[in-house]
Structure 1
Amino acid sequence: MIDWSRVEELVEEIGAEDFGEVVELFLDEVESAIVAFEGAADDPTTVEEQMHFLKGASLNLGFESLAQLCLKGERAASSGQVAVVAPAEVRQVFDASRTQFLEGLPARLAA
């Protein structure tokens, strides 16, 4: 679910002292994008845009499962199919990923 090697790479790139700020920003932006997706889940253009954003943000912070789900949704929306990935599924994968990430992060930062 989480690509911990990507997380470790990002911590090295930006530094442990600034990492918390990046995580907070990421979680806020992803939450906003999910809300936008939930509110426009029948509009292929909006779905494609939000799935693209979520995919990129997720890959950046190592949320691998969410990124793969969003890639699937983005591809489907680009061909006009909006019901392939449901907002509830995106929310569930994000919530599970966030929980795993936040629970596993202290041990990763301490190493």
Structure 2
Amino acid sequence: MDATKEQILEALRQVSDPEIPVDIVNLGLVYDVAVQAGEGRVRMTMTSPGCPVGEFLAREVERAIMKLPGVETVSVELVWEPPWTPEKMSAEARQKLGWR
């Protein structure tokens, strides 16, 4: 049985940007998730193209999703369009970071 989109998103809520104490889902870095035939796919961005933790986060995403039942492979696609902006953060993330 394949993992669900909801399970993938929940797994990704356990992955945080080491520079910002908020998980990548609430930070607004995850644009899309899908799962089909044992492959988990994530389309995501970073806070900036020069983000020094991009590769680290991609590995953490892969590691988190591989723990889910039925997932055999993971692909992480880093995209820069649309660019990340603080408006992509959830209300919870904005509150935690003291943004309005």
- TM-score greater than 0.5 by the shorter chain: no
TM category (shorter chain) comes to under 0.3
- Computing the radius of gyration from Cα coordinates, the structure with the larger value is 1
Structure with the larger helix share:
1
